[in-house]
Structure 1
Amino acid sequence: MSTMNIEKNIKDFKELQRMSEEIAAEMEAIKDKIKAEMSERGTDEIITGEYKIRYKTVKSSRFDTKAFKEAHKDLYSAFVKDNITTRFTIA
């Protein structure tokens, strides 16, 4: 692939990325409107037509790695595992 082709692909990618960010912002705005309506109605679930919308608090428990590392450095080191990934960036 020539340098000109790479640059065109990058420009196309950046434009699609910009469009994707705009769409994501629009989706978030619509979601916020729906959540506001649910709050106004005082409900955490709405059934309308073929859709069921829920906006509920969910409780979950997660392991606090940072606190464990501070409290048990040796034990943490014995179980930590390296992870290798490949990263693609365009700047």
Structure 2
Amino acid sequence: MSTNELESKIRELRQLQALIEEATAEAETIKDAIKASMGDSEELRAGEYKVTWKAVKASRIDTTALRKALPDVAQAFTRETTTRRFCVA
């Protein structure tokens, strides 16, 4: 791909990313309005739609506390991974 083609693709990518950000922000605003309408209710029905907003419990290991309390155990179960980060500046 030539430099001009790359520049065009990058410009197109940035424009699409901006559209995605705008759409995501708009979707979050709509979600917040629906949640406000629901109040403390966990379920809402509107015509053909059923909306649920329920509390979900999750358990996670506090790795910071584990490293402080049992550093050898934390080290034994620590796994290093490598990924590639794509960024356009």
Q: Give the deviation of 1:47 after TM superposition.
A: 1.7
Out of 73, 81, 88, the residue aligned to residue 86 of structure 2 is 88
State the distance in 1 between where 2:64 and 2:84 align: 25
The residue that corresponds to 1:4 in the other structure is 4
SS in 2 for 1:62: coil
The residue that corresponds to 1:68 in the other structure is 66
Matched, 1:43 2:41: yes
Letter of the 1:10 counterpart: I
Q: CA RMSD in A?
A: 1.1
Q: Give the deviation of 1:86 after TM superposition.
A: 1.5
State the distance in 2 between where 1:45 and 1:86 align: 41
Letter of the 1:47 counterpart: R
Q: Give the deviation of 1:48 after TM superposition.
A: 2.1
Give the TM-score normalised by the residue count of structure 2: 0.92
Unaligned runs of 5+ in 1: none
Sequence identity (%): 45
Out of 50, 53, 56, the residue aligned to residue 52 of structure 1 is 50
State the distance in 2 between where 1:50 and 1:64 align: 42
Unaligned runs of 5+ in 2: none
Structure 1 outlier segments of 4+, above 2 Å: none
Q: Give the deviation of 1:81 after TM superposition.
A: 1.2
State the distance in 1 between where 2:19 and 2:46 align: 30
State the distance in 2 between where 1:64 and 1:50 align: 42
Matched positions, count: 89
